[in-house]
Amino acid sequence: MMIPQINPFLLLIASIFTSNVLLSYFLGMCSFISISKDLKSSNGLGMAVTLVMTITTAANWILEKYVIQRWDLSYLRYILYIIMIAAVVQMLEMIIDRVSPALYISLGIFLPLITVNCAILGVALFMQLRNYSLIQSVLYGFGSGLGWWLAIVLLAVIRKRTENAPIPSGLKGVGITLITIGLMAMAFMGFVGMLPVQ
């Protein structure tokens, strides 16, 4: 397969706005909904997701190119990807713990959660499916992380406002959050005309 001719920086912008992993691909919804109750944790989780996503996309790209394609192991792809993600998360946890205990306190608790965040695996699978080059993949991973971060912080702020609003009891909590996300997704759809990339 050919590598698509897309400017990597365009891809970066596109993955933040027009094809936001959360709002148009529904990835990482579970933690998105449960964590966005609190702005501070949302910020921490967003940062952790961005960091992990950038590194794992690069790591999985190398894995794909030099292990999976060389020995024709495509049927083991899912297992290998998830092991790679778990390993990267584990290593990051240890490194951050050593280097900066302060950062570990704000970021560390979110790291184990991230292994099972669908956004991380999803971005890796999209990267493989669309056959991006290494630079494209890294910027795509980084941009998707930023997009996720942006979305969760925005939602956390909106949720704070809706907390005290008079909402029908059946719709309180998750119901109204989903409607908010839907409206956000529509707002982000407005960016589509800006860029010629999917």
Partner 1 sequence: MKIREIATKNLWLENPVFVQILGICSTLAVTNNLRNTLVMTVGVCFVTALSNATVSAFRSLIPRKVRMMVQVLVISFYVILVDLVLRAYLPEVSKALGPYVGLIITNCIIMGRAEAFAQANPPLISFWDGLTSGLGYMLVLVTIAFVRELLGFGSLMGFKILPASFVPWTIMVVPASAFFVLACFIWIARTVQLRKKGGGK
- Considering beta carbons, is residue 25 or 191 the nearer one to partner 1? 25
What is the secondary structure of 1-16 as a DSSP string? -PPP---HHHHHHHHH
- Planar angle of CA 120, 13, 139, nearest 5 degrees: 50
Nearer to partner 1, 116 or 153 (CB): 116
Indicate the residue among 41 and 99 with the shorter CB distance to partner 1: 41
- For residue 57, the minimal CB distance to partner 1 (Å) is 13
Footprint of partner 1 on this chain (CB under 8 A)? 23-30, 33-34, 75-79, 81-83, 86, 112, 115-122, 125-126, 129, 168-171, 174-176, 178-179, 181-183, 185-186, 189
To the nearest whole angstrom, how small is the minimum distance from the Cβ of residue 31 to partner 1? Answer: 9
The CA distance from 139 to 149, in Å, is: 15
Provide the minimum distance between the beta carbon of 115 and partner 1 in the complex, in angstroms, as a whole number. Answer: 7
Query: Do 147 and 15 form a contact (C-beta atoms < 8 A)?
Result: yes
Q: Greatest CA span in the chain, whole angstroms?
A: 59
101 vs 182, beta carbon nearer partner 1: 182
Least distance (Å) between residue 125 CB and partner 1:
4
CB of 102 to partner 1, least distance (A): 26
What is the Cα–Cα distance from 118 to 160, expressed in whole angstroms?
25
| Residue 73 · residue 67 · CB < 8 Å | yes
Task: Give least dist CB 126 to partner 1, A.
Answer: 6
Rounded CA-CA distance 24/2 in Å is 25
Nearer Cβ to partner 1 (90/100): 90
- Say which residues have a Cβ less than 8 Å from residue 29's Cβ, sequence separation at least 6: 22, 118
Q: Which is nearer to partner 1, 142 or 148 (CB)?
A: 148
Which residues have a Cβ under 8 Å from the Cβ of 65 and sit 6 or more positions away? none
